[in-house]
A and B are shown apart, each in its own frame.
Chain A
Amino acid sequence: MRNNSSANDIGTQYYATQLGIYDEMYANEIKALPYWERFMAALDKMGTENLELRRREAQRLLRENGVTYNVYGDSQNLTRPWRLDPVPLLISSEEWVVIEAGLKERAELLDLILKDIYGKQTLLKKGLLPAELVFGHEGFLNPCVGALQKQKHHLTIYSANLARGPNGRMWILDDRAQAPSGSGYALENRTVMTRVLPDIFRQTQVHRLSGFFKYLHKGLVDIAPHKKDDPRIVILTPGPLNETYFEHAYLAAHLGYTLVQGGDLTVRDGKVWLKSLAGLQPVDVILRRVDDSFCDPLELRNESKLGVAGLLEAVRRGNVAIANPLGSSVLENPALMAFLPRLARYFLNDDLKLPSIATWWCGQARERDFVLQNIDSLVIKPINRGIGNHAVFGGILNNKEKDYLRSQIIAKPHNFIGQEQVSFSTLPAFIDHKIEPRNAVLRSFVVAGNEGYDVMPGGLTRVARQKDNFIVSNQAGGISKDTWVLAAEPDKPVSLWTQPKRNQLIDADTDALTSRAADNLFWVGRHLERTEAVTRLLRVILIKFREVFEFKEPHDEACLHVLLRTLTQVTGTYPGFIKCDEKFIKAPETELISLVKDGFRRGSLTANIQAFFQAAFSIRDLWSQDTWRGVDNIQRRWQQRTSNVDLGIEQLPLHLDDLLTGIVAFTGLTSESMTREAAWLMLDSGRRLERALALISLLRSTLALRHEDVLQNQVLESVLVATDSLTIYQRRYRSYIQLPLVLELLLLDEAHPRSIAFQLHQLSVHISALPKSKKKSQITAEERAILKAYTDLKLSNVLELTQVNEDDGVYQQFEELLANTTDLLWRLSELIAEAYFSHSQTSQLMVHSTPEDEL
């Protein structure tokens, strides 16, 4: 059926497929497949403009949910937004049956191979797998031989990249067996799709994905040692710099697991423990996203900082289960594909249901000669992935490069394979307002269950951004798609919650906050508070700056200079306005702009916001969706507003107001949504500590030195504005601004949330609420420090504090009190770090670095 409206051009009739290439929508036919026809008709009805709006809405949702993909070597812009094309890959239920069976079979087969390689090695002994193929692959870790525990399946999660060849058959391109990524992105893509195309999604019967995550959870519980009912499961991540860190945090939050880095775990007595605020907690299962050779610096890669020393020993003793087991990357050896048909017959007495892409391993003489002769039409891959090891398209090499490649193959033939170059199928993609064919790869996910393997009915489809590009990868900037497996009948939703047996009481897991997470929360609080203090001070300065410009009053100018010097003090950006010539302080614009936007300058607003964002991102799994939106909002809006090259001083007040609104929103969200447990205590302690320090710095810099009356009044007023206290002051004292009254309000008034007394009081309450290793009756060093600071402040007297030393004009006692409090607070910060952030202790390798013999 043709739609003749000329405004839209996204119906199937406008879709230009390429000759000789299989297209998902047409499957070699003249007419589109019926389910594609229906889908495209619905899009057509919607219209291009509308579809573009939905695409943008999807991008907005993804961005706000913090869905990112980190690109290595991109330090300026750490995270790259995840791109989603609103046109999914549709797969019919009949075809899915075949794919599903093929994936299950392959997972079974790889599981058996894994078990053999790290167990009896029958395949090697019988000559079914060449020794060079196994021993020559970096994924084979000899310390892991014999370490597999008794489990029904060892390969808990498996993932394969699939693509359709010209004959319409699905092929497996490669196997991901150690720590497959993408399932979280697939789920998030689905969540967003149901929001932006709810009507079409409802009309199409699509299999749900939630069942897969239930199976994953069950699969992880099943492998817990000692058959524990409610094991502690953690996700081991390399950290926020990893390309798929978003997914680690996302899965941790979705499945309710603790997200940990190597430093959060420790091995004691042959068991694995989580270093939490409340002490060591046992860990039963690790879902790892760290490559296997990096997981144990003692037995595997010694230089690794991402692992846990002694982990393999704990595995060997059966005290912890790791999914997938250490050493499973041996299955990612592409040379293995050449042997799978034979191994399928050996283990399963069957032919492979899904073929692999044709592969020749050069470790055998005949295959090597074939590859050398046909180098032009093959893709040559080293069996080990690594720096400088890339797949090469033989056809695009010049003669010299070809000769070099040949000589490399001849020197170490077992290190290379040749693979057939396949032209993948295309499918419709919505790119630049048009529907165009793009080459696609489908990543599918399989998880081990009790009966066998379960396949996610869907997956992560990715297309190249450019036409005719076969290299589809996220690092190369590809676009993702949802994958809709059409159901014969509507699919029931599955809840992640498991029903406890009868009325079983489960202990609430309240203290699994890792010390690393605590550290980050503390710093989120500190960076945010510092940002706020600087923002408020800058606003006051800008007002004063304008007044000086307008009224040209000498007192205004003197006050401005006091404030500028204070800014240098508060931001710690010496020499700044402290030691500068007259010219510099009279034309402060350049320095002010630099303190606002220079991200490479410590103490600048941008640097503080970046630090705040990094700390918050490191604990992405702990924030609620709304709170994260608050974090993202602060960082993104600030970046948008200040990245402008010609940012002028006139626009600054507006930007600063906007920033303050974002900060206040975040603060409000956290205080409304966080339970008053360890995480909150850490966040708020950081905030209180920093607020006290910033305020002290402000007061010392503005008020410790006596000014003449007119100037003093101006400075006092500015201080009240910078601390958001002017209104309160006026309401309370109604009289002139006087130093003793200001000090009473900002130093000693415990009812005022901006006073130092308030911060110290809150800190002492928080600190005594933190989990302790000592007995209740004993007072900790942290408690002692804050108690001293608080008491010293309480015992001070405003009249004494405002006695000026006539020789040098300094308020001596005031200055001493604040200096003393600052010292105690810094000490407190160190004590908190020592007591609670134990992960920060670094490890060192102890080996001989000098020659061992003296013969």
Chain B
Amino acid sequence: MKYRITHSTLYDYSQSVGLCQSEARLQPRDFWRQRTESSYFEITPMPTDYNERTDFFGNRVAYFAVQKPHTKLLVTVISEVTLFPKQNNSGVFNQLSWEQVQQTLQGNSMSMQFQSFGQQSQVQGLACSLDLIEAKQYILDSPMVTVSAELADYARISFQPNRALVEVVYDLMSRIYKDFTYDPTFTTIATPLSDVLRFRRGVCQDFAHLAIGCLRAYGIAARYVSGYVETLPEPGKARLVGADASHAWFSVYIPDLGWMDFDPTNNKVPHDQHITLAWGRDYADVTPLKGIAFGGGQHTLSVSVDVLRLTDTH
């Protein structure tokens, strides 16, 4: 499955901006389910300084600076991505209970070291433990997700004793889908998770954060994924160009299997319609576009996203 994504952000200032530095995580990363064929920026005014790198989580980051006075800044990214719809179905059959996973993640790194030494499976054991060490950071509190007793209470029903972790997460995802109202007027980026939980409203970011907090409350590693989802027009209506949006969901670490994605906003396991941009502990790690502008007065912001499925030519 191939997609072309066009994501534009326009800043309009009431006064001139003399210098603006930005950081963008808007280019899709590669992993087993996804390959980026091309991805490039079109920025006006043209930045004087532009540099790409890979961040700590392996995401693609672009740093750019506009160093001459401007009153408008337009940042467009055009990417073409191929998805391989070979969703790792073994996940469904993974029967590791959540308690087992919790134990594995809590395991003392020292004892693991001894397991992996002097064994035939040394290399494999080490690779596995590296995965595990990396996963550990996703159990801890992060800037926007702090584990609380309230989150643990909400999640408790899903965490039945000896239940397979995969089942727990499916259950949690569908409960969030049912219990929470999608309401873009209710929250902003700054709305705390406790408000989302109390009023049972929010948007995809809130639902992803909520699920992540619930899982971490039980010692399960969960991370935040930012990206896009293909939307299909209602039957009989034409597709609206630019009416799509950024999206967010979460991913759970399952030992022996790896990371498995879940989309609580749509109650779906991402398959061939979810395009991944970046992942991290929460939104703060993967903010698609942020910047610091000097001057500018008031600013308005408009965003347009277009996710276009390309017809297969082969």
- B205 near A852 with CB under 8 A, answer yes
CB distance from A310 to the nearest CB of B (A): 4
Complexed CA–CA distance, A854 and B229 (Å): 11
Are A130 and B109 in touch, CB under 8 angstroms? yes
Binary contact readout A387-423 vs B (1 if CB under 8 angstroms, 0 otherwise): 0000000000000000000000001101000000000
The stretch that binds B, out of A479-487, A815-823, A837-845, is A837-845
Which B residues are CB-close (under 8 A) to A268? 19, 48-49, 65, 67
Task: For B11, give its contact among A127, A309, A846 (CB under 8 Å).
Answer: A846
Instruction: Tell me, yes or no, whether A778 is within 8 Å of chain B by CB.
Output: no
Q: Which residue of B lies closest to A134 (CB)?
A: B137
- The interface stretch among B38-46, B79-87, B162-170, B187-195 is B187-195
**Told that A298-B23, A302-B290, A412-B141 touch, could you supply 14 new A-B pairs with CB distance under 8 A?**
A125-B129, A131-B133, A131-B136, A136-B140, A143-B56, A297-B292, A298-B290, A313-B51, A844-B299, A845-B292, A851-B188, A851-B204, A851-B205, A855-B231
Tell me if B21 and A310 are in contact (CB < 8 A).
Answer: yes
1/0 per residue, CB under 8 A from B, across A486-507: the answer is: 0000000000000000000000
Minimum CB–CB distance from B231 to chain A (whole Å) comes to 7
The answer, among B109, B189, B266, for a CB contact under 8 Å with A848, is: B189
Please tell me if A132 contacts chain B, counting CB pairs below 8 Å. Answer: yes
User: Cβ of A267 < 8 Å from any Cβ of B?
Assistant: yes
* Cα distance A411–B151 in the bound complex, in angstroms: 13
The chain B residue sitting closest to A263, CB to CB, is B294
Query: Does A316 sit at the interface, judged by CB under 8 A?
Result: yes
Asked if residues A849 and B182 are in contact (CB atoms below 8 Å), the reply is no
- Take A135-B137, A268-B65, A845-B290 as given contacts and tell me if A852 and B303 are in contact as well, using a CB distance cutoff of 8 Å: yes
CB under 8 Å from chain B, chain A span 276-306: 297-299, 302
Closest 3 CB pairs of A and B: A127-B109, A309-B292, A142-B56
Annotate B6-46 by CB proximity to A: 1 below 8 A, 0 otherwise: 00000100000011111100000000000000000000000
A803 within 8 A of B: no
Contact indicator per residue, chain A 296-327, by CB within 8 Å of chain B (1) or not (0) = 01110010000001100100110000000000
- A849: which B residues are within 8 A, CB to CB? 188-190
Q: Are A855 and B133 in contact (CB under 8 A)?
A: no
How many residues in B have their beta carbons less than 8 Å from beta carbons of A? 64
Q: Is the CB of B130 within 8 A of A125?
A: yes
* A853 in contact with B137 given A127-B109, A841-B18 (CB within 8 Å): no
* Interface positions of B (Cβ within 8 A of A): 11, 18-23, 48-49, 51, 53, 55-57, 63, 65, 67, 108-110, 112-113, 126, 129-130, 133, 136-137, 139-141, 147, 182, 184, 187-190, 203-205, 229, 231, 243, 245-248, 265-266, 285, 287-296, 299, 301, 303
A414 and B290: CB pair below 8 A? no
Is the CB of A364 closer than 8 A to any CB of chain B?
A: yes
Chain B CB count within 10 A is highest, among A411, A844, A846, A848, for: A846
Tell which of B48, B140, B292 touches A269, judged by Cβ atoms closer than 8 Å. B48
Report whether B189 and A853 are in contact in the complex, using a CB–CB cutoff of 8 Å: no
Task: Name the distance in Å between B230's Cβ and chain A's nearest Cβ.
Answer: 11
Asked if residues B292 and A843 are in contact (CB atoms below 8 Å), the reply is: yes
Residue from the set B109, B129, B289 with the largest chain A CB neighbour count within 10 Å: B109
CA distance A310 to B248 in the complex (A): 27
Query: Known: A143-B56, A841-B18, A855-B204. Is A317-B113 also a contact (CB below 8 A)?
Result: no
Residues in A with CB closer than 8 Å to B18 are 841
Tell me whether B133 and A846 are in contact (CB under 8 A).
no
B23 contacts across to A, CB distance below 8 A: 298-299
| Chain B neighbourhood of A414, CB < 8 A | 140
For residue A850, CB closer than 8 A to chain B, the reply is yes
